[in-house]
Structure 1
């Protein structure tokens, strides 16, 4: 077994778990990155994967792999940077143990990330949320489950990974109803539930208790839903909801859109940005500040406060009688 193979096994069997204590999602992402990289190097260099060593993981081959992801696989710059982080993590750990490859590894570690443009946050209006929540067929178990799941996500703003990991014991509907979740960085937080969500969840949990397993939102056999299954379900309901709310067709809606919607609702209600950061489980307010840019009502209020004296607030509306308006000029 060569140095690269040994380092990969050491990283994923020992270092990632015991020393870094990385989450299962992070380990899976890093693992998939290296699988794709080794397959790319095998095809590009024409050698078996078992013979690849650190001398094959050069700045040129890694840059070629990243370009392959972006141009041939259609990955975004953000995904490209995530894959680069996975490669760097393993190489940084291997560098002290393999000084003979220090020059090659150092050059790879020096590859800069791609500059990215933060997209405009997409969220749903109250009418769009109501249309989406009405889409599941509540005459069926699956429809009632999906309705409860979507309603709680739109109110709490939990991430898809947090929703999928919830168990029956994480939700409390008594005095001070709340749900306990564990997010990025294993940060645990408690999110309050509104009375409307409590009523929905009480009905759902009464039926959920007759099924096996402990996953709060489960499949037919009591197991937790997969990420792909959940995204498939929301896409199905968005299609159905578009019939009654055509504006949904203009938006790319995922589970994360409901998280943005919860944040924008809090912002519209006048909740301080630092409180919203705590609600969403952000490490600081830097990520949360993006919602300020997305809220046109806040920008309109800023324009209204800085208007010249004698000018009425609001957007410009022309006079209905164009001849009278021209005469008044």
Structure 2
């Protein structure tokens, strides 16, 4: 099955133009299935049937895998076997009737506007690192991009004059505007801090670590955590918290869902709908507290 997985990942990369993160996710899920099948003494992918795949789903449930993890694994398995059916001319797809568990959509954690403001004031701009951190936080909140997109930005992806960034994910590309606060912070970073971090090296990456290399997800996560603690923010905060806050604050201030969907890069507007639901819940709470005949 190892060769088939490699062939499938190659197809995703070369034909579908998927992102590296997507490919890594598919490969991880399929290798877990491969280990399970090996334990079941299955030697070739042709031996896999619907019963075995259902057994694997039940195995994940017994191991208390999160419903979201099981659902993602099933999606990976179905895509994999669909690919094999097309390339091998199989008459039956063993994964055709695999069903994902229902996932309850939870309201994402967001910061208040005051908390965001307090967080963004934490970096001290008397060092190159502090100037960089302020620019990254401002741009993340201003655009709502994913942390993987933030650390992947190159110099050519940002237009400071017109105030927008270009994000590419596989074949998809989206242009996202940003405001004056983020513009000032990024300009401040570009005026000298970036060159100081870069030293004598060369790089097309926009944001650099203290060694002049590309920032990592883990590196930025630690930066964000330290500033959240300094700001006295009690809730558990991740880079995605700022992404959710960006979308929720836009909706709260009247932005239409279609525009928010495009900026967030959601393929389905139902994913964006959750921010409208959050806004309705807030309005309902205000009503119940204030209306005399509630």
User: TM-score, normalized by length of structure 1?
Assistant: 0.77
Query: How much is the aligned-residue C-alpha RMSD, in angstroms?
Result: 2.8
Matched with 1:326 is: none
1:122 is the counterpart of 2:112: no
1:269 is the counterpart of 2:256: no
Map 1:215-230 to 2 at 5 A: 215-230=205-220
Map 1:172-191 to 2 at 5 A: 172-174=159-161, 176-183=162-169, 186-191=171-176
Matched with 1:280 is: 264
Relative distance call for 1:222 and 1:64 in structure 2 (3 A) is farther
SS at match of 1:275: helix
Instruction: Tell me which structure has the larger Cα radius of gyration.
Output: 1
SS at match of 2:204: coil
What are the superposed Cα offsets for residues 34-75 of structure 1, whole Å, 9 maximum, x if unpaired?
A: 222222333x33x5xxx7212554444434444454553x54
Matched with 1:309 is: none
Matched with 1:26 is: 22
User: TM-score, normalized by length of structure 2?
Assistant: 0.85
Match of 1:131 among 93, 115, 118: 118
SS at match of 2:176: strand
Match of 1:170 among 157, 179, 194: 157
> In 2, Cα distance between the equivalents of 1:40 and 1:66?
11
What are the superposed Cα offsets for residues 13-47 of structure 1, whole Å, 9 maximum, x if unpaired?
A: 3x2233322222211111111222222333x33x5
> In 2, Cα distance between the equivalents of 1:96 and 1:152?
43
Map 1:196-215 to 2 at 5 A: 196-206=181-191, 207-210=193-196, 211=198, 212=201, 213-215=203-205
Residue segments in structure 1 that go unaligned for 5+ positions in a row: 243-247, 305-312, 318-329
Residue segments in structure 2 that go unaligned for 5+ positions in a row: none
Number of corresponding residues: 288
Q: Answer 1 or 2: higher relative contact order, Cα 8 Å, separation at least 6.
A: 2
Q: CA deviation at 1:117?
A: 0.3
CA contact (8 A) 1:276 1:288 kept: yes
CA contact (8 A) 2:247 2:275 kept: yes
Map 1:303-314 to 2 at 5 A: 303=287, 314=290
| Runs of 4 or more consecutive aligned structure 1 residues displaced over 4 Å after TM superposition | 67-71, 96-99
